[in-house]
Structure 1
Amino acid sequence: MPAIFLRTLSFVIGCLYRLISRHHGHYHSTRTTNVPNPNTTNKPTAPASRPTTPPAIDDERNHLYFWLQRCSICLEQTYSLCLESCRDQFCKDCFARYVEETVQQSWGLGISRIKCPVCQDIVPQTEWSRYVSKEVVAKYNRFNQPYRPFARHCVTCDQSVIPCVSPRQQGVSREDQLNGITELLRTLSTLTTSHQLEAIRQFFEQSCQNKQSTYRLGHVQELYQHMVPPLAKLAKGQADLYTPASQISKQLVAMELVPEAWKQSQFLHVSHFPMEPCAKCKTAICLQCGEKDHRGCTCLTNLKTNLIPQATSNEQMASLQWKVDFTPCPNCSVLINRDEGCNRVDCLLCGHRFCWHCLSPWSQAELGVPDMSLIDAKRRHG
C-alpha cells in the first residue's frame, strides 16, 4: 500500500479527532456552567467565559501538504523520485543508500530482487539502476548470476572445490548426459550385484525411453529423488561405489535447467556425497565442514575428537572451536550465529528458511516465539 495513502488517511483521522474533541469540549463546558451551585450565596457572578479554542497550528509539519512532500524513508527531505509501479516517493540519497545496502547483502547463491522499502513491490533493474553508480550495478550483476555454484576451499592448496558445475559450463547435450548416466550405471553393475541397483538401472532406462518426459519441468527432480538416495546408501557400504555414484548425482544436477531448482539440487548432492577431491592437489575434503575427508564420523565428532586435540596454534584452535560453537545451516552447512529473537532463520547463503530450535524447514503455522529464557538471563546479568 503506498505510503502517500497512509499519510493521507492518518491526516484525515487526526483532523476528525480534533474536530470531535473541540465539539465535545465546548458541549461539556456549556453544560457545566449552567448548573447552579446551592452552596454559594446570591452574589452576582461573572458571565461564564466561552471555551477557549486551541490556537491555530501554524507549523508546516502538521499540514497535509508537508507530509505529502516528504521522503518515505527519512521523512525529512522533500522527495525527488517516485517509483513507477507503486508511486512511493523517496529522496535520491535515501533510495540510493537503500539499494546499495541491499546489493551489499545479496552475496548469497540465490537471486535477490530490489524491492520497494515501503510496500515490498519488486522494482525493475532498469528503474533502480538510474539512481546508483555503475559500480553498484556491476556488483549486483556479479552477485546475482544464476547457477552460482557452491564451493569450499581446499585446506591443502586453497583451491576452490566446486562439486556441481553450472549447466552453462557443461557444454554437453541432454542426450549425452543421459548416455553418460547409463554408462555409469553399467559400471556400478560390474562392481556390485545389488538387486536395488538393478531396479534403479531399469527405472532410469525406462524413463529415458520417453525422451519428452526427460525434458518435462520437474522430471529431473523425480529422477534424482528416485535414484540418488539409494545410490548414496549403497556407496556408504562399499567404498568403490562412491565415485561413480557421485558422478551420477552430478550429472542429474547438471540436467536441471531451472536456476532455483538447480541451486537446491546441488545442496542435495552435497548432503548425499559430501566428500569431494580437490582438482589441483587431489586432497579429499568434506564439503559440509571444509575439513579433510573424515568418512565414518560426523563433522562435529571429527572436530571435537580429532582436530581440536591436534591443533598446533592458538589461531588454529580458535578457528576449530568457532566451527564447534556455531550452528550449520541444515541445507548448505554454512555456519550461522544467532543470539536471540525469532526462531525463524533465513540463511543468507542459500536462502533456506528453518526453525532455529529444531532445525526443521520453517512452517507458516509456527509462531517463531523468541527464546525468552535467554533474553531474561541476559537482562539479569546485563
Structure 2
Amino acid sequence: MPLSKLGDNELSSDSTDFEYEEEDSDNCDFELEDEDSEDITSNGEEQLSNRNDETLGVSYTFPVSHTKMNTKTHRMIYKSVSLEDMEILLDKKVTALNSVLQLGNNTCLILLVKYKWNQDKLLEDYTNGNITNYGLVMELQKQEQRRSNIPLIKEVRDPKFTCHICFDNPSEGRPLTVFTLSSCDHPFCVDCYINYLKEANKDNKLLLRCPEPTCKQLITMSDLQKISNFEWDRKNQEKLREEQKCISAEQQSITEEEIKTRYQGDKLSSKLHDLNLDDISDSEDEDLIYPSHSEEETDKAKCDTDNHSDPDFDTAITNFQQQIMEKERTEREHERNKTIASKYKLNLTENYCSAHYKYFKNCPIPNCDSMVMQVGFDSDKVGTLSEFVERKLVPTVVCTHKHRFCFNCLQEDHSPCPCSLAKEWEKKCKDDTETCHWLAANTKDCPHCSTPIEKNGGCNHMICFKCGFAFCWNCLQKWSLHYNDFNCTVYVGDADDAKKDQDKNKKLLRRYMFYFELFDNQKRSLDADKKLLRKFENNLRKIQERCGVSWIEALFYRESMDILFRARHELMWTYATMYYIGTKNSCELANAAQQLFSRNIEKLSRLFLDTKIEMIFKQRNKFLNYANLVEETRELLEETFLDYISKDQTKLI
C-alpha cells in the first residue's frame, strides 16, 4: 500500500528492529536559509528582518564582522535555547513535515524517529518511492471500524476479562479501568499500562509498542497524551480528596476553647485596625502596641539581627542568583518529568539534540541545563566549526543563564587564546614540562651516565655522585685532560653546541616565567575580587533593604561586577596568548592595548575597594563610567589580538 494513504491510526512496527544508517552530513536543520534571511552586506551588518522562528534571537561570537584593520572575523551565529524551546521547534518541524506528506503528525513523528531525524533523507526516499528499500513499509491491518463514542479508557465489569500483565479480573462491585490503543483491540488495565510506559521512558525508548507480544502496533503521541492526561487528572483528584479529609479532620478537632480564643483575637484585631494609630502618641499607647516586649528585649532582638553572623545566612544572600537559578532548574525538571507525555517529549528532544551533536552543545557549567545551537557562520569562507577553529578563532558563546564558554572545547571562555594554544598552555602549567626546562637551563648531564648535575660552587672540577666520573663543567671532558687546574683550554664543538642549547632553554624559561607570573597574578586578582565583591554585595543588599532601593536601581553594581570579572578573565588569557606570539613579530599594538586594558581594570577594581558601602548609590555614575571604559578597551583588545591571530603570528614554543 502506498505510504501516502497511511494515517495516524494505521501504524504498525513490523520494522521496529530496523536501524537506519544515518549519513554523515555537515548540514544543520536550523541553519539560515536564503529565503529566510537576506545576504550579509559588505559592511558586515546583517539584515535579518525576515528570519523564521528558528533564527529569531540569534547571537554572534564576535560583536562585529570586521575589525578596524578590516580583518574579517568569520563569526559564528548561534542561539541560546532550552529544552522547552527545542520541544516547540520539534513540534513545528513535525507539523511542517506533515504539511508535505499529509500523513498526520503522529505518523510523521514516528518516521522522523526511525530516520534518526534526517528529514532530507526521509523526503528523498518518500519522493523517489524508496521507502520500501529501508524496511519502512507499514502494512495496513484490517481494523474494526471504531465508533467515536467508544473511549480508549473505560471501565470493565465483565469477570471474564483478564489483564494479561497483572492477571487481575474485574467484577460488578469492583470494576477495572482499562486502556486500549486507537489502532488495536488489546486492552490492559490502566495501572499496568502506566507502569509499562514509565519503564519505557526510563529506558529512553522512543518507539513504543502495544504490550501484547503478538501486536506490532506503535503507540502514537495522541494515545500517549490521553493516558497521560488520565493519570494526571486522577492524581489531582486524589490530592483534592486528601486535602478535603485534612480540612474535615482539622475542623472536627477544634475545641470550644480554641474557637473562643480565635473569635476574641479576631475581634481585637478588628478594633485595632479601626483606630487611627498615627494620631496616638507613642508614650500613651506604647503598652497597647507592644504589650509583650520590653525595651531591653526589643534592643536585644535588634542587635541580634544587625550582628547576624550565621555563615549559612551570609551564603544564602551571597549566592542569591545561584539559588534562583537552582530553584528555576528544579522547577523545570519537575515540569519535564511531571507526566508520562512530558517525560516522553523530553526523551524525544534529548535524542534529537544527540543526533545533531555537532550543532547542539550543553552548557558545561554545573547545574545549568541550557543549550547552545549553532545556526551558521557570517562568512563566505567558513562553513563548519572545524574550519572556524583551524583559523585559530575562538567560538565563545553565552547560554541563557549568561554562562560564557567555548563551543568547541566546552571549557570556560579562553578568548582571545585559540583552543589549541589554551590546551597547550594548561598542559604546560600542570605537567613537569617547565621542570625539564629548569633542569636543562641550570644543570648538565654527566658525560658518563647522563645524570643531571647542578653546579653549587665555583670549582669546575665536577664528580658525579652516581658513577664517580670526574669531568670539567665547562667542556664536559675528563678532568684528567686539564693540566692548568681550573682553566679549561680544550675546545670541543659539541660542548659549544650544548652551551647554546642551554642558553636557549634559559631564554625560554625566562619567557615562560614572565608570562606565567602575569597569568597567575591576574588569576589571583580575579579570585580576590570575587571574594571582596561577595562581601560588598552582601552589605549592599542589606543597605538596599534598609533604604528601600529597588533592585533595578541597584542593578548597576551587579553589572559592573560582571564586567570586572569578565575583563580580568580575558586579560589573564591574553598573557597566555602573548607567550605564543613569536618574539620577532611586532607586538607594540598588542602590548599597548594590554596595558591600557589592565589600567582600566585596576581603576574599576580600586573603585569597589575604596568606595564606602554607604556611598555606593551616590557613586553610581562613576561605576557606570568606569565599567563602560573597561568594556571599550576590552573590545579594542579583542580586535587587536584577532588581527595578530588572523595573520598566523602564533606558534607553539
Taking structure 2 as the reference length, the TM-score comes to 0.15
